[in-house]
Each structure stands twice: as structure tokens, then as C-alpha cells.
Structure 1
Amino acid sequence: MGQHPRYRRVTLAVLLLGLGVGWLSVHRFWMRTLLHLTGDAEWIWVTDSLNRVFPVAGLFVAPLELDEPPTHAVLKVCGDREYVVYLNGSAAACGWSRPGFRLDLYDVTHLLRQGSNVVAVEVRSPTPAGGVLLALDVGGRGENVLVSGPAFRLRRVFSLEGERPDDRPPPVRWGRPPRFPWAYPVAISRPRTLDQTVVEEPVRVEGAAARPLPGGGVVFPLPTRTFGYLWLEFEGDGACYLAVVDGADPEDLAALRQSAQPVVRLSGQTHWLDPEPRWVTHVFTFGRRLPRAVEVHPVVEEFRSAAPGVVLGKHGPVPRTRWTTRTPPE
């Protein structure tokens, strides 16, 4: 005989209650865990103008005074879609989101000093939607002594110096985790900062060695296939689109041009970092403002699997979600 409808309803209610209690327990566990990691850190962003689609970039800057050299310091950061963190002018960390959101943890003790320090995080997105979450532990001062929120100021012109008169409070403070769509980013320990990961001289190609392309743009051929971080060097502002190739020149240049990704940078920014290290043989650039040089900073094999910007999955590195919302390059 089948169950009485009343019993089925009671069974379903008990099951749903159990699932709800289980979800709440997991939610509270992760909230305690993440709050321990990031404290009062808030998701902040550069704009709340979401009525049209356009790429955005910003630089959040905060001062940090230390009475003595830190015994240890841990940087914790998640950026949607891309971030680059600079400590006292040095590129210390980089990463990206989608698919997935990760809270990257770095030991940055060697990059902080007694006295005045400047913490800056560059953020980028192909659309106006995004966010960055950051917290910093400093030995001798405590956990989360500097967190994303009111302590940071937004800068529209790229400069890694201290306070400037045109700095402004964050236009958007989404609030503390959990917030949609980031929920609770997965914490990942990064054993080395950017400066510790790159230990060899960069492979540099000057603009004079670049080859013009039919229909506009240039390609920078590297003298040897290299795995590392791509830096673009500019002189002046203007739109640029990028396609990185590992292998021979592609036969379908039109398709490559169409798939090129926007180089989203701030006014006055002369050096731009791709936060995902990769194999490179050719760097194709299109647009009104082309780089005057490119550099690939090599990553030695033993550092690659845990390098900043590398996300490992079950079957190797996880591919990024391509930036599809864009204006085709000139």
C-alpha cells in the first residue's frame, strides 16, 4: 500500500527542514571562516552606472603606517574580474575570476617596511559590474589591520604614490561577504608573490621589431617560446586590443582580430600586466594606441603550478572565461 498523503506531506516537510538546517549550518561555518580571514572587509567597486555596457578600470589606494618592521604580513585578495596589487610600488600579486572566485593569500612581509607604506589594488572588468575584496594581516598589529572599505580611495589616474588631492571615496561599497555573485570565495594559499615568482630576466621585444599587420595592428614575435607574465608598455592613452598566440602565426587573421581582448587600463598607465601567466610566442595588438614594447617575465618550471594567476583544476590549468562584451578593434 502507498503512504497516506498526510504522511508524505510530513515526510517532505521534515526533509525540507533538514536541508534548511544543513544549509544554515554550512552558511554559518563559512561565514565564520571567511570573517576570520577578511574581518570587516567590504566588496568595493569603481562605478554604479550599470545601464550600459563598457569596460572599466580603477585604482584603490590606502596608506599604512607601521611603527616597526612587521614580523609577518599576509595579504588576502579577490578581484572580479582582474586585479593587480602593488605594495610600495612593487607588483606583488595578481589574479582573476570567472569561472570561480578565489581569495588569494600571500606572504608579503618582505614588501612592507617600518614607517609609511602604500597599498594599491588595480581592478578591471569588461563590464561596469565587478568588485574587489582585500584584507591585510600584520604581525605586531593584528589581523585585518587594513581592509577594503572606507580606508581606500579611488584613483582614476594611474599613480602608486601616497595620497593625492583628486582621490575619492569608493563609489560603491557592496558590503561584507556573502554578496551575490561572489558568495564566499575559496581561500587559496599562494607560496610566492609576483616578485618572488619571476627570478629570470624578461624577454623584451621593442616596437621597432614588431611586424605591421594587414588592416592595422602589429605583432611582436618573441625570439623564443616563453612561459610567463606579459607586460605591455605604452606611451599615451588610447584603445588597444590583445591576442596572445602560442605557436605559428594564425592563418585566419580576421578571426584573431575579432577574438582580441580589450586592454583595460587607467589614464596615464604606461605598464599593464596580464594577470594570467601563459606560453607565448607572438603578441598581436590592434587599436589606436599600440604598445611601444612588450615583455614576458619568465616563470621557472618549479614555480608554475602555484604562480599568481594560475588556477589548477582536475585536468590542468582552468581556462578563463573570455571577455566577450567589447567593441571590435579598429
Structure 2
Amino acid sequence: MEKTSRPDSLFSRPLFAFLYVALAHADREMSKTGRAEWIWYTREVKEPAPIAFVATRDVVLDRAPSRAMAKIFADRWHVLWVNGQRAGSGRQQPGDPLILHEIAELLSRGVNRIAIEAGSETGVGGLLFSLDLEGSGRDAVFSDARWRVDPSRDAIRSGGRYRAEVWGRPPMYPWGWPRLPRPNELTDR
């Protein structure tokens, strides 16, 4: 009688291999920020020097959402403002998870200004933003060339004067795919 060979590894079994690939892909899929692009104040950094600026985007809503999750990665720091009110802040570097801010209570029907103060000690960095809105879906607002930037904090209320510089979409060096934080990990204001 001839012996049949048994797989030595769980990964050689089709079901287990499929589950492993699906789980590995799910983490990357969930951390996607949709069409969001890495933006920054400038591409021209001749020598390391601290930089701080405000990136803004006005968004028109048909109604105030009951849920609105902002996902941000800012290398090195950010302060999120919604309609002139502070919504949260954080410090990040490559390898850190996205920071989540629930901002529904700050949004209203009509024009809403999202402003993100961002900066780095070296002048080099990246800002990635995506907003999931109940009723509008995932990635309803995202960072791209439509964002305006300004070195003045006055832009929190008045809007940016210059077009944001676009680095590109994730994954890109040095940030890769920013990972999601643990469930229910929201920042404080």
C-alpha cells in the first residue's frame, strides 16, 4: 500500500493559505485612506529647518452628519481644527498608526472649513487626511492638490493662500501604508 503524503505546513492547505492571505490583505485594506494623497507645504527644503503651516479645505454638506471620522497621519505633528474649533492633535513618525478624530459634532449643514496645522522640526514631512462621513461614505473628503496651505495661523479661519504640494499616494517611502490604531482608540481634544 502506498502512503499518501500529508502537508507538513498549514499553509500548504488551500483554506488556511487563503485565510492567511485574506487577513494579511485586510490589514492593509483597512488602513487605506482611499484616494488621499500625501501633501505638504513645499517640495523645496534646501537645508533642515523647522516648518509649521496650515492646510485647509472647505467642504459643503447637505446636512450635519451624525458620524464623521477623520483619519490623519502627519509626520511630525498636527492640530486638527473644524470650523475654527480644535478637534484634536497628535505627533507621529513613520511606522505609527493613523490618528482618528470623531468630528461630527463640529460639522454643520453648509460650508465647513477643515484646517490642519502641521509641521516638522526638519522642514520635511507629509500630511495624509481622509474623512469618512455617515451618508457620504468612506473617503468623502481627502488630502489632494485641492487643499490650500499657508504659513499663517490665520488660515485656520480665513483659508490657505497657496496650493498644497502633492508627494503621492500611499504606499510611499518613508510612510508606507499607515496602519490603523486599536479599535476605539480616539484622541482627546
Flag whether TM exceeds 0.5 (same fold): yes
Higher relative contact order (CA 8 A, sep 6+): 2
The match for 2:31 among 31, 34, 55 is 34
Q: Rg bigger for which structure? A: 1
Structure 1 SS opposite 2:73: strand
Counterparts of 1:150 and 1:48 in 2: how far apart (Å)? 13
Does the 8 Å contact 2:71/2:99 carry over to 1?
yes
**What amino acid sits opposite 1:32 in the alignment?**
E
- 1:65-100 per-position Cα deviation (integer Å, ceiling 9, x unaligned): 111111211110011001110011111111112374
Which residue is 2:82 aligned to?
A: 87
Tell me how far apart the structure 2 counterparts of residues 151 and 99 of structure 1 sit (CA, whole Å): 24
**1:129 & 1:98 partners in 2: Cα distance?**
12
Counterpart of 1:104? Answer: 99
Aligned residue type for 2:149: L
User: Amino acid of the residue matched to residue 161 of structure 1?
Assistant: R
Q: Deviations over 1:46-79 (max 9, x none)?
A: 1212331111111000001111111211110011
Q: Counterparts of 1:59-74 in structure 2 under 5 Å?
A: 59-74=54-69
Q: Take 2:93 and 2:187, find their aligned partners in 1: how far apart are those partners?
A: 22
Secondary structure of 1:70's aligned partner = coil
Q: 1:130 aligns with which of 125, 129, 133?
A: 125
Report what 2:44 is aligned to: 49
User: What residue is the counterpart of 2:12 in the other structure?
Assistant: none
* 1:182 pairs with 2:182: no
Amino acid of the residue matched to residue 180 of structure 1? Y
Query: 2:49, 2:24 → 1: CA distance?
Result: 34
* Shift, 1:32, TM fit: 2.4
- Aligned equivalent of 2:162: 168
Aligned-partner SS, 1:102 = coil
1:8-44: per-residue Cα shift (whole Å, max 9, x none)? Answer: xxxxxxxxxxxxxxxx988855442223xx1100111
| Structure 1 equivalent of residue 145 of structure 2 | 150
TM-score, normalization by structure 1: 0.47
Letter matched to residue 187 of structure 1: L
After superposition, the Cα gap between the structure-2 partners of 1:54 and 1:192, relative to the gap in structure 1 and judged at 3 Å, is closer
CA distance in 2, matches of 1:47, 1:192: 28
| In structure 2, distance between residues paired with 1:193 and 1:178 | 28
* 1:1-330 matches, cutoff 5 A: 29-35=26-32, 38-98=33-93, 100-159=95-154, 160-163=156-159, 167-170=161-164, 172-188=165-181, 189-191=184-186, 193-194=188-189
| Percent of aligned positions that are identical | 31
The 1:69–1:191 alpha-carbon spacing in structure 2 relative to 1, beyond 3 Å, is same
Residue aligned with 2:124, SS: coil
Pick which of 180-189 and 79-88 moved more: 180-189
Give the partner amino acid of 1:46.
Y
8 Å CA contact retained: 2:56, 2:147: yes
Aligned to 1:317: none
Equivalent residues of 1:137, 1:143 under 8 A apart: yes
What is the CA-CA distance between 1:120 and the residue it aligns to? 0.3
Where in structure 2 are there 5+ consecutive unaligned residues? 1-20
